[in-house]
């Protein structure tokens, strides 16, 4: 049974996490929040508002949890290591490209061969010398090290590229779905196992969007990554689409629909979902993914299995649609793909197949008969704060927006001055009210859709009441105490509840908890509570340490010993 390759061999990247601050939060305030959680921005990924944040090793999960609770952080997530959504290829003497007939590509090619379309293949690299790819290759990029080496370190990327856009009608090998599309190789891993980190995938996608890709294929299960979603939204804003593999765990991972990616499940020759294909509300369409005749690096051919191949087959159909009607915006292209799909289960939407199994011929026919003329403006409203609210300091602002096609972005204004723009829902902002005088001020938002239509919200009037700044000299270091357990206690059971409290003459900036020298929790309040799982704790003595830091960076610490 195909499964995500090398599953569980790796987890996340040590010493770094991915964080997106609210739109409008200043760099200084963002860095202040990061410092309070032992973090520091080491990179802003391309043109995305997503940061790679350095944190202490083994503290990644604790820092993500702390930042996720901060109202001025849109998201914080681990930099997960993602396996390829593929099984090993079988039967080098492959037998026919059944999937092309199933999705009616021969008829589609009478209308569109994807001329002028560039498909970015974000993968393990591509063997650009393969005779069934060489004439389609354009220059690419290595997203891991920033270099130009896009050779295939695994073989997966070459097979994926062939499924999407192998050279066709050349009396050689196999046919790709997007007959005349160009292939842009973007290598997102330098690891021969094919594992790729979310940060490298997001970085590669941002680069592809900036360098002319019309559609990007990611044959990895990234539908649950906020960082990759931000990069996909950026690709959408540049006029491109992103197609991703649903992954091969045979489960419903519980993801909600992602409006910025086309997530694909895999079907077999009988239009049944492959047993190993993931399913759920996040699946947009299904496509053939079993025994897909495609390429081997080094010049060979084989049949491959996995959502790794239903994804590029779909990306190829997207390219056919784009070439058939270049006036369609990304949201229109996705709508055409879904509306033209065959309802193989008889349902308009089925979690196994999304909106149906793709049909290339129906898609291009619908595309050429679709008028790309959206004149309806989106609607937008500020949901928080409420009218008449008294605000001070950093203010969290939230907005809801909708459109008949797709919302591209929402911009937030305070007193007519732009504070920030957010391209991904939920639309959240941070406004520093100290930049304006005390008194009433109008807050507004403007939503822009994929056709450039704009809609404005009703103004929300709030009352700014910031206190006059009084400088207080910090005279003393903070104090900190562990109230439970007590020093010398013998712990038992499954969980020990640890309680820490700190005080200072001005303000406590953070409280950190270490167990046996490992950071396990951090808080920006004066108190900290932590549930310590001791079921697998070894017998003997163990050290619990709490460190308090005040706003002047003075520290205090306390340690106790417990035993099991």
In this structure, the number of other CB atoms found within 10 A of the CB of residue 348 comes to 9
3-state secondary structure 120-154: EEEECCCCCCCCCCHHHECCCEECCCCCCCCCCCC
Separation in Å, CA 93 to CA 86, 89, 158, 300: 19, 11, 17, 10
- 308 tagged catalytic: yes
- 156 tagged catalytic: yes
Residue where the block lists tokens 């008028």: 371
Tell me the two tokens of residue 538: 């070894």
DSSP 546-558: EEEEETTS-EEEE
* 361 CA to centre of own chain: 31
* Strands, E assignment, 424-507: 427-432, 439-449, 454-456, 460-464, 479-484, 495-503
Helix/strand number for the chain, H first, E second: 10, 30
Catalytic residue among 123, 132, 152, 374: 123
- Contacts of residue 323, Cβ cutoff 8 Å, sequence gap at least 6: 112, 113, 114, 115, 116, 117, 181
Catalytic residue among 72, 99, 130, 156: 156
- Contact status, residue 254 vs residue 280, Cβ threshold 8 Å: yes
Helix (H) or strand (E) holding 73: strand 73-82
First to last CA, the chain: 44
Catalytic residue among 4, 308, 451, 457: 308
Whole-angstrom distance, CA of residue 340 vs CA of residue 324: 14
Tell me the two tokens of residue 138: 């354009």
Q: Hey, is 67 helix, strand or coil?
A: helix
Measuring CA to CA, which residue among 418, 213, 420, 410 is closest to residue 322? Answer: 213
Residues in the chain: 564
Residue where the block lists tokens 């590029």: 312
Whole-angstrom distance, CA of residue 363 vs CA of residue 316: 12
Catalytic residues: 123, 156, 308
């Amino acid at each position: 049974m195909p499964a995500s390759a090398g599953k569980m061999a790796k987890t996340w990247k040590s010493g770094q996490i991915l964080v997106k601050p609210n739109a409008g939060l200043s760099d200084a305030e963002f860095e202040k929040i990061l410092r309070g959680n032992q973090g520091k921005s080491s990179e802003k990924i391309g043109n995305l508002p997503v940061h790679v944040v350095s944190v202490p090793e083994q503290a990644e999960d604790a820092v993500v949890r702390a930042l996720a609770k901060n109202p001025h952080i849109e998201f914080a997530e681990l930099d997960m290591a993602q396996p390829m959504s593929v099984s090993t290829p079988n039967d080098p003497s492959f037998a026919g490209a059944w999937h092309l007939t199933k999705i009616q590509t021969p008829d589609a090619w009478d209308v569109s061969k994807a001329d002028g379309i560039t498909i970015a293949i974000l993968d393990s690299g591509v063997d650009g010398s393969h005779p069934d790819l060489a004439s389609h290759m354009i220059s690419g990029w290595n997203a891991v090290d920033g270099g130009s080496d896009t050779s295939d370190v695994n073989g997966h990327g070459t097979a994926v590229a062939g499924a999407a856009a192998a050279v066709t009608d050349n009396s050689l090998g196999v046919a790709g779905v997007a007959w005349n599309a160009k292939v842009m190789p973007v290598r997102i891993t330098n690891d021969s196992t094919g594992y790729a980190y979310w940060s490298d995938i997001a970085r590669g996608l941002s680069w592809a969007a900036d360098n002319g890709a019309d559609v990007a294929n990611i044959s990895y299960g990234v539908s649950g990554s906020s960082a990759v979603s931000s990069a996909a939204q950026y690709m959408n804003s540049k006029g491109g689409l992103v197609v991703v593999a649903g992954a091969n765990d045979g489960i419903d991972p519980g993801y909600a629909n992602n409006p910025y990616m086309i997530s694909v499940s895999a079907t077999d020759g009988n239009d049944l979902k492959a047993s190993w294909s993931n399913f759920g509300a996040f699946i947009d369409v299904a496509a053939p993914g079993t025994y897909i005749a495609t390429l081997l690096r080094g010049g060979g051919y084989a049949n491959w299995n996995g959502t790794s191949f239903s994804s590029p087959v779909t990306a190829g159909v997207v390219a056919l649609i784009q070439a058939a009607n270049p006036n369609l915006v990304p949201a229109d292209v996705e709508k055409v793909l879904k509306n033209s799909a065959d309802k193989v289960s008889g349902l308009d939407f089925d979690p196994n197949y999304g909106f149906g199994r793709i049909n290339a011929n129906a898609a291009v026919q619908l595309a050429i008969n679709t008028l790309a003329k959206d004149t309806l403006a989106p609607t937008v409203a500020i949901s928080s704060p409420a009218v008449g609210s008294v605000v001070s300091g950093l203010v969290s602002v939230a907005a809801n927006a909708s459109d008949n096609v797709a919302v591209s972005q929402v911009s937030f204004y305070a007193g007519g001055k732009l504070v920030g723009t957010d391209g991904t829902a939920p639309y959240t902002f941070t406004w520093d009210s100290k930049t304006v005088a005390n008194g009433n001020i109008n807050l507004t938002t403007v939503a822009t859709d994929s056709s450039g239509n704009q809609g404005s919200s009703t103004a929300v009037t709030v009352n700014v009441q910031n206190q006059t700044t009084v400088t207080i000299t910090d005279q003393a270091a903070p104090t900190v105490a562990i109230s439970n357990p007590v020093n010398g206690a013998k712990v038992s059971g499954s969980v020990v509840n640890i309680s820490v409290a700190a005080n200072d003459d001005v303000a406590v900036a953070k409280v950190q908890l270490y167990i046996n020298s490992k950071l396990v929790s951090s808080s920006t309040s004066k108190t900290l509570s932590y549930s310590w799982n001791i079921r697998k704790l070894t017998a003997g003595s163990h050290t619990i340490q709490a460190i308090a830091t005040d706003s002047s960076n003075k520290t205090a610490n306390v340690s106790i010993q417990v035993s099991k």
